Structures are given as C-alpha cells and as structure tokens.
A and B are shown apart, each in its own frame.
Chain A
C-alpha cells in the first residue's frame, strides 16, 4: 500500500550504497528535484543513475553527480548545453557512461516493470550501440536483443496523487514517470498535492497506485520553474 511520507528525507530513506536509481525527467521537465536533494542528503554512494539526461546546470541530478555519489549513468543524451558537471566528471574519467537510444531506454524500463525477460528491437541495428549484442532476423527485418533495466528505487515527479497513490501528471513532465514507477522495487513520487481517494477521476488516472510505494508533497513548481528559466 502507498504511504504518504511526512517529508522528502523519509520518502527516500533506505537507499543503499550501490543502488540503481531510476530518475524521471526530460531535462528539467519532470525531474524530481526535491527527492534528488534528499538523496544527496542521505549520503548514498556508488549509485547507478538511469535517466534520460545526465543533469542540467547545478541543480537536481547535476548536484547529485557533483557530490560524487554516482558511479555510472545510463542515459540517452548526456551532452547538453548545460551539462558541464557531467562533462567534467566524464572527461576526468570519474564516471561511467552507458548510452542507450531513447526508445530502447524507455522500452528496457517498461520491460522491467512488465516482467518481460528481454526483447528484440530494430533500433540500433547496424550501429555501434548494437555491437556485441545478439541479432535476429524476424520476418525479413533485423533486430537486436535488449534486456530490461530494473531499479532498486525510482524517483518520480507527478502532479497530483490521491491517498491510494494514484497519479496524474502535468504536460510533458510526464515523460519517463509512468514507466519508471512500474520498474523499481521502491517507487517514490513527489507531487504538488495529495487529495482524498475518490477525488481523482478513475478514468484519468495515469499511474495506478499499485506501482507507487511512497508519496511526498513538494510544493514549489513555480519557484523551480523560475529558477530553471534563469538557468
């Protein structure tokens, strides 16, 4: 059952050193900044981070990287105009990188959550990102075998939760949230508000509460938005 945590420190409690952490967001849209701040405070180290990007500016994921708590990043697009924290660590040989085509990244996470053992995808065939991987021709087309990515923890940002943990998201901040929520042993979600069960129309629930372990309220989309706009 979903627990409503009193604060972000309680929400992320128990992340072990060496854990694999799925972190939602596309750039800063949907990035669970307050949960990442709590993860930094927790001191958990040697983490593998799975996220679309590898941090922007000095906040959120970039701050976690700067704190030296991350051993490896699995992502589709680390290099951005404001990814200087990652760029510096990578060039200094202080962080491992696995680049995954974005659709394969999404599907590997989805597969983990759906109990799929592996899958054949056409994306990446004939490219360096398929080297050393099993290929199969199916109905005249070539596919590459890809394996699921499961997290020990998922950190997700949604718009609103009810007390059952049902979630709705906001615009393109949804991105990886719904699939990451399915793919981790413990899914932690920060929301702007929690409403009573029954106050979210069951027809519009995006992530059903069965996938959600802990919810914590973090106001402050507006504050962060302003910060992001400046950066």
Chain B
C-alpha cells in the first residue's frame, strides 16, 4: 500500500466515534465489496453515500445489506451479523454459510472494518478474546475476515480506558490473525501498516512527536 504525506492536525481532534466512522467511509474505494464488523464498525455504513456504490456483505449470508429495519420492515429472517434486523437493497443476494465464508477466505471482499483490543506494529490483530480465565471464548467470523479480506481496516481508540496503548510492538492478547491489518483508524491518528513499518498518515489533535512519546511502536512519517 502506498502512503501519502503525513497530515498533522492539531486543531481538529481527537475524533469522535462518528467522525472516525466518516473518515473510514471516505477512504473506502467506490464500488467495493465491504464487510463491517459487529459494534462500532457497523456505524461506518451511516456515512456511505449512494455515490460510494458500496455493496455490504454480512457473514450470515447476504450481499447488498441495507440499513437497520424499523417498524413494519422488521423480519426476523433478515438479520445482520449482530442479529439486528436489517433490510435488503435492490440487487441483494442470499447464500449459505460456506459460500459466505468462501467470499471472505477466498479474497473476494475488498475491505473489512474490524474493532480491536490490540494491533501490533507488524499488523497482527487481537480482537476476539481477552485471555482472562473466566471469559467465555467466542470468535465468530473474526478470524476468517481478518485473513480473508484484501484490506483489513481496524477501527479503535488508540488507548484503552486505563491509558494503555492499543497499537503495540507485540500483542499480549490472543491473536485473531497474523500480519493481516492494513490500516488502523483511531481517534488520535490513522496509520498504514507497511512492510517497512507503521506509517502515520494523519493526526487529530496531536502530533507525530507526541505519538512517538506515548507509543512503543516505531512510527514512520513524512
């Protein structure tokens, strides 16, 4: 992936969740097949305009997923990956689970957007399990998406509630996928994960110098 010149924005930021979702939506190429993960990534859809001509994939067997269903539209045979009732758009298609995951694993999806507990400097992703002994493990489709989509965008805060960085030299949580993340979108900055290292592409309300002082991952910028 090519990286552009780093844009430092001190006056704008940190980004709200909605601003972050809009930023990601703006970076999704027109005409892409896209899977949005459960939780925050789902809100990226709110910022996709018809001109984007994006086709949304949901792991439970549909292309051309529309917005959440309301009132009479609700049909419990038509839900998204989070089991929320949704709608279908013209040109939608239904298919079974093996086909749905062939679309992921076979490299047919252009972009997926996933949440994360941690991302490593080499693009390892940890987003399914905290590793705590009493946590009930649940992985869903995260591992298939992580290794299958052509580009994996992560959407997260740069620091957790305790102030610990989530972009780290090496993940301490159990991995979802190895070397699979292409870009990291956070409230404070966006990053490209490249073979040469992590490149800061933009900052929001902070500077590259400040980020370097707070993160243990070497940051490239130009």
Contact = CB atoms under 8 A, between A and B. Distances in A.
Interface of A: 26-30, 52, 76-80, 87, 90-91, 97, 99-107, 109-110, 121-129, 169-179, 206, 221, 224-225, 228-229
Interface residues of B, number: 41
Given A27-B79, A27-B83, A107-B101, A76 B178 contact: no
Interface stretch (B42-50, B110-118, B151-159, B169-177): B169-177
Given A26-B60, A28-B76, A172-B58, A127 B143 contact: yes
A174 B95 contact: yes
B137 interface: yes
B62 interface: yes
Contacts of A109: 98
Given A26-B83, A122-B147, A172-B78, A101 B139 contact: yes
A125 B178 contact: yes
Among A27, A101, A121, A170, the most chain B Cβ lie within 10 Å of the Cβ of: A101
4 closest A-B pairs by CB: A103-B101, A103-B144, A126-B178, A106-B97
Given A76-B141, A102-B139, A129-B139, 5 more contacts: A99-B138, A125-B178, A127-B177, A175-B61, A176-B97
A177 B143 contact: no
Nearest to B79: A29
A172 B60 contact: yes
B41 interface: no
Contacts of B88: 171
B84 to A, nearest CB: 10
Given A122-B147, A175-B61, A127 B175 contact: yes
B62 to A, nearest CB: 5
B148 interface: yes
B100 interface: yes
B161 interface: no
B144 A104 contact: yes
Interface in B97-148: 97-98, 100-101, 104-105, 124, 129, 134, 136-144, 147-148
Contacts of B137: 78-79, 97, 99
A169 B77 CA distance: 10
B195 to A, nearest CB: 14
B46 to A, nearest CB: 21
B98 A125 contact: no
B160 interface: no
Nearest to B101: A103
A123 B100 contact: no
A228 B97 contact: no
27 contacts: A26-B61, A26-B79, A29-B76, A29-B83, A76-B138, A76-B139, A79-B136, A80-B83, A99-B138, A102-B139, A102-B141, A103-B104, A103-B141, A105-B97, A106-B98, A107-B105, A121-B105, A123-B105, A125-B178, A126-B178, A129-B143, A171-B77, A172-B58, A172-B77, A176-B97, A206-B96, A225-B75
Given A26-B83, A103-B141, A171 B98 contact: no
B68 interface: no
B96 to A, nearest CB: 4
Contacts of B177: 125-127
B61 A172 contact: yes
Contacts of A179: 96-98
Given A76-B138, A123-B105, A101 B76 contact: no
B26 interface: no
B61 A174 contact: yes
Contacts of B97: 52, 102, 105-106, 175-176, 179
